Amino acid sequence: MNHAELVKNAGVVGAGGAGFPTHAKIGARVDVVLANGAECEPLLHSDQFVMLDRAEQILDGLRTVMETTGAKRGVVCIKEKNTRGAKELEKHLTKNVSILALGDFYPAGDEHILTFEATGKITPEGGLPIDVGVLVQNVTTLANVARALKGEAVTSKVVTVGGEVAKPGVHVIPVGTPLSDVIAACGGPIRDDGVALLNGPMMGRLVEPSKEVVTKTTGGLFLLPRDNPLAQRLSRPLSADIRLSRGACEQCRYCTDFCPRYLQGHSLKPHMIMRVMNEQREPEVETVTDSFLCCECGVCDLFACPLSLSPRRFYREFKASLSARKIWLRKRNKKCEADLYREHRRVPKGKLTRRIGVSGYDLAPEFHGKEWDVDAVEIPLSMHIGVAAEPVVRIGDKVGRGTVVGKIASGKLGADVHASIAGVVTKINGRIRIERRGA
């Protein structure tokens, strides 16, 4: 069985957030593989501890992907401030693998940004780093690749838990653990009027903890006061964003001047989408289709705009509308050149956390390396890009940790899912509930 098949059988997906099935991604032929350890989202520390705890696995996974893709060079991209992680990784370097130290700016971990920082190549509009011979894999994904070669499925996730929670920390949590149980296990909320933020403050979303579970892509869970500026921004309805934009946007262009994609030479211009919304006129086709160039990093609305308006949200709405009509952006072959002021317009993480009102939660948490014991999990059949897995177990079946409980149909893009605890299947309905009783 080849490496890609082993990775597929283990259900490995992009752990950094996108969730693209890794077995499909490593089927490409590239020149360079980048291990993404930048973890640019404020407040997240999960990958930092993965690099400390699983450095050898990360490098083993990187070399496996290099072998599978034919890459001659591997680069581990890590923040220069993460000296402890760098020292651990250096112990396992080989002659064709190096470390690239990055500044503490946002969004350093974006794969287009990372590709340019490591190789000087600009990903084409509508394209992927693979188009310029580069493959980017999150460090946790690479550790999971190494485990997959030993027959270990993805059954847990390293998660940062913080904010207004009694015991902040970084924990190894079984996939399918309800977020409400995670909060309770970390001492519960400090105050009762909070909201829950899943993943980072820039690209995360507010959730109801009783309705969500830890998945293969969960990076963080934070409790914020309801009156926190970020919580208020994320709670704002679309109608309010439209009303505020039409009454306040002054076309200052800051959203465009700080846009990471624009600074790499892409034609994305957030101030133009604001003009479309504000003038209520028939937009130019290119302005709307450029929506697909937006990575939704949040720099435009959470950092650049002095009036807290949200070009990102309008791009998101246009993308959803176009996609529903099966309209997508095709890769463009135009030559892109990085903006002259690109390096001077990077967003410093410290300044960013102060601006969005979360600097008080940017603490170095304690790492708890022992995986949690939990009594029940609900395994989602879809934690990835592609089609949902189909259940291969029935209610009443006994399963062990790592047992396949959902498989992808032949020829479809997706990822298998596995039991994260040993127990009995008690419910199947979009998720597979497993309880320890009777195991």
Q: Collapsing DSSP states into helix, strand and coil, what is residue 425?
A: strand
The residue among 92, 124, 148 that closes a domain is 148
What's the rounded Cα separation, in Å, for the pair 135 and 107?
18
Buried b (16+ CB within 10 A) or exposed e, 422-437: ebbbbebeebbbbbee
Stronger pLDDT, 285 or 358, i.e. the higher one: 358
pLDDT at residue 278 in the model: 85
CATH number, position 194: 3.10.20.600
The residue among 99, 125, 148 that closes a domain is 148
266-275 pLDDT, tens per residue? 999 999 999 9
Alpha carbon separation from 300 to 106, 208, 258 (Å, rounded): 12, 26, 7
The residue among 109, 126, 148 that closes a domain is 148
Q: Do 211 and 256 sit in the same domain of this protein?
A: no
Within a 10 A sphere around the Cβ of 48, how many other Cβ atoms? 24
What's the rounded Cα separation, in Å, for the pair 128 and 120?
15
| pLDDT tier, 193 (very low <50, low <70, confident <90, very high otherwise) | confident
Q: Do 194 and 264 sit in the same domain of this protein?
A: no
Q: Do 362 and 399 sit in the same domain of this protein?
A: no
Q: Do 8 and 144 sit in the same domain of this protein?
A: yes
Evaluate whether residue 353 is within a structural domain. Answer: no
What's the rounded Cα separation, in Å, for the pair 86 and 142?
16
Residue from 104, 191, 196 nearest 159 by CA: 196
- Number of separate domains in the chain: 4
252-262 pLDDT, tens per residue? 999 999 999 99
Q: Do 181 and 209 sit in the same domain of this protein?
A: yes
What's the rounded Cα separation, in Å, for the pair 298 and 211?
25
Evaluate whether residue 114 is within a structural domain. Answer: yes
Q: Do 263 and 338 sit in the same domain of this protein?
A: yes
Evaluate whether residue 153 is within a structural domain. Answer: no
Cβ atoms of 294 and 279 closer than 8 Å: no
Q: Collapsing DSSP states into helix, strand and coil, what is residue 205?
A: strand
Q: Give the mean model confidence (pLDDT) for residues 283-308.
A: 92
Q: Which domain holds residue 197?
A: 158-228+358-373
Q: Give the mean model confidence (pLDDT) for residues 393-399.
A: 97
What's the pTM?
0.95
Evaluate whether residue 57 is within a structural domain. Answer: yes
Above 70 in pLDDT, residue 439?
no
What's the rounded Cα separation, in Å, for the pair 228 and 197?
12
Omega cis (within 30) before 107: yes
What's the rounded Cα separation, in Å, for the pair 195 and 143?
32
Q: Do 291 and 439 sit in the same domain of this protein?
A: no
| pLDDT tier, 138 (very low <50, low <70, confident <90, very high otherwise) | very high
Evaluate whether residue 402 is within a structural domain. Answer: yes
Of 266-270, 328-332, 368-372, minimum mean pLDDT range: 328-332
What is the H or E stretch that residue 370 is in?
strand 367-371
CATH number, position 335: 1.10.1060
Cβ atoms of 79 and 102 closer than 8 Å: yes
CATH number, position 17: 3.40.50.11540
User: Which amino acid belongs to residue 399?
Assistant: V
Q: Give the mean model confidence (pLDDT) for residues 26-51.
A: 95
Within a 10 A sphere around the Cβ of 284, how many other Cβ atoms? 12
Cβ atoms of 93 and 53 closer than 8 Å: no
Q: Give the mean model confidence (pLDDT) for residues 165-184.
A: 97
Evaluate whether residue 178 is within a structural domain. Answer: yes
Tokens of residue 420, six digits: 């994260």
Q: Do 379 and 368 sit in the same domain of this protein?
A: no
Residue from 298, 347, 335 nearest 108 by CA: 347
Evaluate whether residue 193 is within a structural domain. Answer: yes
Above 60 in pLDDT, residue 438?
no
What's the rounded Cα separation, in Å, for the pair 290 and 268?
6
Q: Collapsing DSSP states into helix, strand and coil, what is residue 389?
A: coil
Q: Do 51 and 140 sit in the same domain of this protein?
A: yes
What's the rounded Cα separation, in Å, for the pair 138 and 143?
9
What's the rounded Cα separation, in Å, for the pair 160 and 140?
14
What's the rounded Cα separation, in Å, for the pair 59 and 64?
8
Tokens of residue 126, six digits: 């509508």
Q: Do 103 and 15 sit in the same domain of this protein?
A: yes
CATH number, position 437: 2.40.50.100
Q: Give the mean model confidence (pLDDT) for residues 381-396.
A: 96
Q: Do 334 and 258 sit in the same domain of this protein?
A: yes
Cβ atoms of 179 and 204 closer than 8 Å: no
Q: Do 198 and 95 sit in the same domain of this protein?
A: no
Evaluate whether residue 33 is within a structural domain. Answer: yes
